[in-house]
């Protein structure tokens, strides 16, 4: 089936392209980067934002170039075979919302953890704060809305769920996700050449660990 893209001008130096899925967004962003001519290309869940320098390239030239790429209808980016394992301490101080969520959805704590650790999940996009990962594929039985009152401080490594997704906080920040646990894995290393552990297009699997277990 032909992929559907909608190209829109959304600022003096921005184009926005509506896409069908995060996998389509990642594939299109990759193809646009290969073509060059843009300052920044940011794939999202259902769109790709293209920033350019209007002093360096004319709007019409860039628009025609993007339209040529869209005409080739790049298919969704296929997942790699690599799965990054994320150890998680569920509940307690690490996951203060877990018990209330279990009561809300009508399952036990062990059932909740089994469901959350039973799948490989796609990283759909990274954004909101630096390194924050939006992870799709959450079981419908764990689908809950965001908290009515966001927290002012959510520690780095916290793992939350909301609206059918899991969110990973690479850095401490305010946030309204329901926090079910925390990972001892370092998701942000400012001294590394590539400081963030998670990127769009990756896959992750969660593994329950005890509070004393470190990320070896």
What would the mean pLDDT of 7-26 be, rounded to a whole number?
A: 89
At residue 214, the pLDDT reads 59
Q: How many CB atoms lie within 10 A of CB 209?
A: 18
Q: Which residues of 114-132 are buried (b: 16+ CB within 10 A; e: fewer)?
A: ebbeeeebbbbbbeeeebb
Q: What is the value of pTM for the model shown? A: 0.83
Q: Is the pLDDT at 79 greater than 70, yes or no?
A: no
What would the mean pLDDT of 176-188 be, rounded to a whole number?
A: 95
Query: Tokens in use for 11?
Result: 């600022």
Query: Tokens in use for 124?
Result: 């759909």
> For the chain, which residues make up each domain, given as ranges?
6-71, 84-208
At residue 216, the pLDDT reads 47
How many angstroms separate the CA atoms of 82 and 27, rounded? 17
Q: Is the pLDDT at 168 greater than 50, yes or no?
A: yes
At residue 20, the pLDDT reads 87
How many angstroms separate the CA atoms of 142 and 163, rounded? 9
CATH fold for domain 6-71: Gyrase A; domain 2 (3.30.1360)
How many angstroms separate the CA atoms of 164 and 67, rounded? 33
Is there a contact between 164 and 156 (Cβ–Cβ < 8 Å)?
Answer: no
Q: Which CATH number fits domain 84-208: 1.20.1090.10, 2.40.100.10, 2.40.33.10, 3.90.550.10?
A: 2.40.100.10
């Amino acid at each position: 089936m032909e992929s559907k893209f909608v190209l829109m001008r959304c600022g003096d130096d921005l184009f926005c392209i509506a896409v069908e899925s995060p996998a389509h967004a990642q594939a299109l962003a990759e193809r646009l980067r290969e073509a060059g001519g843009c300052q920044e290309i940011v794939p999202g869940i259902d769109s790709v934002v293209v920033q350019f320098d209007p002093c360096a390239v004319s709007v019409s030239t860039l628009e025609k170039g993007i339209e040529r790429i869209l005409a080739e209808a790049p298919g969704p980016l296929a997942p790699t075979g690599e799965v990054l394992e994320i150890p998680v301490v569920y509940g307690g101080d690490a996951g203060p919302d877990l018990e209330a969520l279990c009561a809300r959805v009508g399952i036990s704590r062990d059932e909740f953890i089994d469901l959350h650790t039973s799948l490989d999940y796609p990283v759909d996009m990274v954004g909101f704060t630096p390194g924050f990962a939006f992870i799709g594929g959450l079981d419908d039985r764990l689908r809950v809305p965001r908290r009515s009152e966001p927290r002012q401080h959510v520690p780095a490594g916290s793992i939350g769920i909301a609206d059918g997704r899991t969110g990973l906080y690479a850095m401490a920040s305010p946030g309204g996700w329901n926090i079910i646990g925390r990972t001892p894995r370092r998701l942000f290393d400012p001294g590394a050449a590539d400081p963030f552990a998670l990127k769009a297009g990756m896959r992750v699997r969660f593994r329950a660990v005890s509070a004393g277990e470190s990320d070896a």
